[in-house]
Amino acid sequence: MSLLFPALVDGPGEQVALRFGARSLTYGQLAAAAGAVAGRVGDADRVAVWATPELETAVAVVGTLLAGRAAVPLNPKSGGKELAHILSDSAPAAVLAAPGAELPAALAGLPRIDVDPQAAGPLPEDGTTESDPALVVYTSGTTGPPKGAVIPRRALAATLDALADAWQWTGEDVLVHGLPLFHVHGLVLGILGPLRRGGSVRHLGRFDTDGVTRELNDGATMLFGVPTMYHRIAEALPADPELAKALGRARLLVSGSAALPVHDHERIAAATGRRVVERYGMTETLMNTSVRADGEARAGTVGVPLPGVELRLVEEDGTAIATFDGETVGEIQVRGPNLFTEYLNRPDATAAAFTADGWFRTGDMAVREPDGYVRIVGRKATDLIKSGGYKIGAGEIENALLEHPGVREAAVTGEPDADLGERIVAWIVPADPQAPPSAEELANHVAARLAPHKRPRVVHYLDALPRNDMGKIMKRALGA
């Protein structure tokens, strides 16, 4: 639609908008293909999108938005039970998919619309309002069945325009990424973001460092990734000078979806001369904060609130924390046009997520530096450890552990302790499984860098940490 994607209406029709491998669409071709999808979607309230990392997924979502309808992106890796729940909850009228894509049995009863990137149809008239639903994105469901966050058109525009301000993002930028397209990072930021600016996006299909090197050497200006991807980049840099040169050419390297360990920040900066920018967002809020392109890319922080976003830290009783001292831990609450409107069919959960005066309770714990930079220390449910009278964020201990040369991966949790309330537990993937660092060595290492009360009291050694599709460590699986 014109309000979300003006370049589809009056932009450079011959400029490449989307490229997936060898397949690409110009703005003129995308407008025609998405217009055809819009015509087939019709007046359905919601349609599902089988969100494979292909050109057809981008065309499907843009076409659905052009039609003024809401898209429900489906993770192709979801199990049958999860898919059945999402379909029952969202009740889509049809599923959009690439021709030939094999759909699971859970989708068998849903009318299928094959997406043809070569089709042509007119752009429909825009009859939407800013509060109309654009996407229904399902949360990870760590505490029960996934909830469908209804994201309005207003939130898409507000977040993407705020990021354009923070990152100096223009139609001249060419973005490269290999992110999945069923969540807000890969889909909203990584596909809809470039299209709103009138720029280009090149999707790798599957992330690999060779693809990053190729695209950045071929004119791409921005790279989006998650910490797992940047960790692989950091690991590859010493033996790959071409990768280092390519990253050095990028205008902006952005990491999100989880905290990027400080150790990886420093390795990338040392090899490339470029610092990775971090931002902070959620399914329900889209983007809340970011390091600005013209600001200091300070490792371990997610920058400052984006334009239009109000952010505060609160104590457990809801009292706002007024001091920016870099030490006082509080829960992040946000307010602004970037927020979702509701959890679909869950008025109870929606009401519980907001305060009486409209602040969204993120469940993320953070501190604020004196200059306003936000440093996230973990999730309230899994990463806030209350030990010996202290509130301790797992994130800073994880970063300290990762600075030890004998540690490849690290996660920190708390477990009940009769004396301390909770004791700090470290889960370590050693760099050398045959000679892991001792628990005492790791405890002393953390105590020397942070404080004695932040040292791990228990250390477990693992072959790998359990992670989800976005590279986030699944801490509940560790506890189990």
Q: Where are the domains of the chain?
A: 7-186, 384-479
Which architecture does CATH list for 7-186? 3-Layer(aba) Sandwich (3.40)
Write the pLDDT tens digit of every residue in 213-236: 999 999 999 999 988 899 899 999
Nearby residues of 419 by Cβ (< 8 Å), 6 or more positions away: none
Write the pLDDT tens digit of every residue in 392-448: 778 778 888 988 999 998 989 888 877 777 889 999 999 999 999 999 999 999 888
pTM of the model: 0.85
CATH of domain 384-479: 3.30.300.30
Determine the pLDDT at residue 251.
Answer: 96
CA dihedral 80, 229, 295, 163 (to 10 degrees): -30
Write the pLDDT tens digit of every residue in 25-75: 999 999 999 999 999 998 899 999 999 999 999 999 999 999 999 999 999
What residue has token string 């919601």? 46
pLDDT exceeds 60 at position 242 = yes
Write the pLDDT tens digit of every residue in 446-465: 888 887 888 999 999 999 99
For residues 99 and 21, the answer to whether their CB atoms sit within 8 Å is no
- Using DSSP, state whether 456 is helix, strand or coil: coil
- The per-residue pLDDT of the chain, averaged, comes to 92
Which of the four pLDDT bands, split at 50, 70 and 90, describes residue 1? very low
Q: How many residues belong to the chain?
A: 480
Average pLDDT over residues 257-262: 82
Q: How far apart (Å, rounded) are the C-alpha atoms in residues 248 and 241? A: 11
Q: How far is CA 321 from CA 34, 280, 339, in A?
A: 47, 20, 22
306: how many CB neighbours lie within 10 A of its CB?
26
